Amino acid sequence: MQAKVVEEVRRRIGPKQAEMFSTTDAIAEVVAKTTEQIVLGTIDIPRIIVVPNGEVRSGYKQFKLNVTSIRYPVPSDELWAQNLRSGQREVINLGRGGIEEQRLEDYVVGGLVDFDDVSYDDHADMLYDLATLTVNHLRGYLVDEMDVRKVLRVYQKQIAELIHSQMQQNYWEEATGYEIVVSKGFTELKDSAFTASATDTVLDYRQPPADKGKIGQLVYAGFTKCLYRLQKFQSDTERKMAVILERDSCGGSGRRKGSFKSSTGFHTISRNTSLTSSPKPMIAFT
């Protein structure tokens, strides 16, 4: 692959640019060095998606519905209004809103079929069984049939969400097979930026600072398993952890904000709790 890159570079450079290279092997050396830097600046974080293929069947297993948490009060048909200046009160009668279902069970079924994963054609019998259990439960503590209708009409969404959450726990799916798709092979590391004086000496990360309180001003190098050549530490504890990880880990990188969207298989050691919100340098190794 590098030979093809070298050939393409030779084809594209002009006579004046060619003079920059003293020997014929100079271009190959530049390409090799550039390739090395690209490898150091990337890390494999595949985005893997498991996609079913062939015929896919799904449904819900029969289960016992838990209705103990369904105990909504009867909503009032009257709204009380009081004038703050005069203290006069008046009662406003509310009209019936929404759709009036012929059967009480239809309120429950109507709320459940609004979910994308619930098909009326495939699950009609099960939906009405769940709706009947719900209506019978409401009749157990509500005296009037009209009160049951009011509760179902006003709290239809909440009741449907409660039942659907229990349905999700009993969901099943069958497929002929599954295909693994890798949609992204690697993530490019972001550049490391920090302030340092050109006259400052770059220290070996194994060397403890003379003044630990000024460690944040020092720049360290000498890493073999960190993907960033230079690093800064916020404390000597971080430096010591880097020494341990360089010795015992199989690879790593200096963690930067936004460097990785996925942390699968990537263990981080940091003085900060959050990995995505902290702008301060951190050390991360695998």
For 142-161, the pLDDT digits (tens) are: 989 999 998 998 899 999 99
Inter-CA distances, 282 with 72, 85, 217, 218, Å = 51, 62, 15, 15
Asked whether residue 163 is assigned to any structural domain, the reply reads: yes
Asked whether residue 183 is assigned to any structural domain, the reply reads: no
Report the SS3 class of residue 84.
Answer: coil
Is residue 31 domain-shared with residue 66, that is, in the same domain? no
Is residue 162 domain-shared with residue 87, that is, in the same domain? yes
Q: Residue 205 is encoded by which pair of tokens?
A: 């990360």
Is residue 22 domain-shared with residue 81, that is, in the same domain? no
Inter-CA distances, 57 with 45, 63, 134, 174, Å = 32, 19, 28, 5
Q: Quick one: pLDDT band at residue 70, thresholds 50, 70, 90? A: very high
Question: What pLDDT, on the 0 to 100 scale, is given for residue 159?
Answer: 96
**Does residue 96 register a pLDDT over 90?**
no
Domain span including residue 134: 62-169
Number of structural domains, the chain?
Answer: 3
Asked whether residue 48 is assigned to any structural domain, the reply reads: no
Least confident interval from 68-72, 118-122, 194-198: 194-198
What is the per-residue burial (b if ≥16 Cβ within 10 Å, else e) of 199-228?
A: eeeebebeeebeeeeebeebbbeebebbbb
Asked whether residue 193 is assigned to any structural domain, the reply reads: yes
Residue 98 is given by DSSP the state S
Question: What pLDDT, on the 0 to 100 scale, is given for residue 83?
Answer: 81
CB 47 within 8 A of CB 53: no
Question: How far apart (Å, rounded) are the C-alpha atoms in residues 42 and 189?
Answer: 6
Asked whether residue 23 is assigned to any structural domain, the reply reads: yes
Across the range 230-236, mean pLDDT stands at 87
Please give the model's pTM, rounded to 2 decimal places: 0.45
Is residue 66 domain-shared with residue 119, that is, in the same domain? yes
Question: What pLDDT, on the 0 to 100 scale, is given for residue 285?
Answer: 41
Is residue 17 domain-shared with residue 108, that is, in the same domain? no
Question: How far apart (Å, rounded) are the C-alpha atoms in residues 255 and 263?
Answer: 11
111-115, 193-197, 260-264 — which one is most confidently predicted on average? 111-115
Asked whether residue 53 is assigned to any structural domain, the reply reads: no
Percent of the chain with pLDDT strictly greater than 70: 72
Question: What pLDDT, on the 0 to 100 scale, is given for residue 276?
Answer: 31
Is residue 83 domain-shared with residue 127, that is, in the same domain? yes
Across the range 220-226, mean pLDDT stands at 84
Residue 204 is given by DSSP the state E
Is residue 33 domain-shared with residue 116, that is, in the same domain? no
Residue 235 is given by DSSP the state S
Question: What pLDDT, on the 0 to 100 scale, is given for residue 156?
Answer: 93
Across the range 256-273, mean pLDDT stands at 36
**Sign of the Cα pseudo-torsion (194, 199, 204, 207, in order):** negative
Question: How far apart (Å, rounded) are the C-alpha atoms in residues 157 and 112?
Answer: 8
Asked whether residue 111 is assigned to any structural domain, the reply reads: yes
Is residue 242 domain-shared with residue 276, that is, in the same domain? yes
CB 202 within 8 A of CB 183: no
Is residue 162 domain-shared with residue 214, that is, in the same domain? no
Q: Residue 231 is encoded by which pair of tokens?
A: 């690093």
| Strand 89-93 with 203-204, pairing | unpaired
Is residue 67 domain-shared with residue 154, that is, in the same domain? yes
**Longest alpha-carbon distance in the chain:** 100
Is residue 154 domain-shared with residue 70, that is, in the same domain? yes
Neighbouring residues of 229: CB distance < 8 A, sequence distance ≥ 6: 40, 221, 223
**Sign of the Cα pseudo-torsion (175, 176, 177, 181, in order):** negative
Query: Residue 55: which H helix or E strand, with range?
Result: strand 42-60
Is residue 207 domain-shared with residue 284, that is, in the same domain? yes
CB 192 within 8 A of CB 241: no
End residue of a domain, out of 106, 137, 169: 169
Across the range 176-196, mean pLDDT stands at 71
Asked whether residue 57 is assigned to any structural domain, the reply reads: no
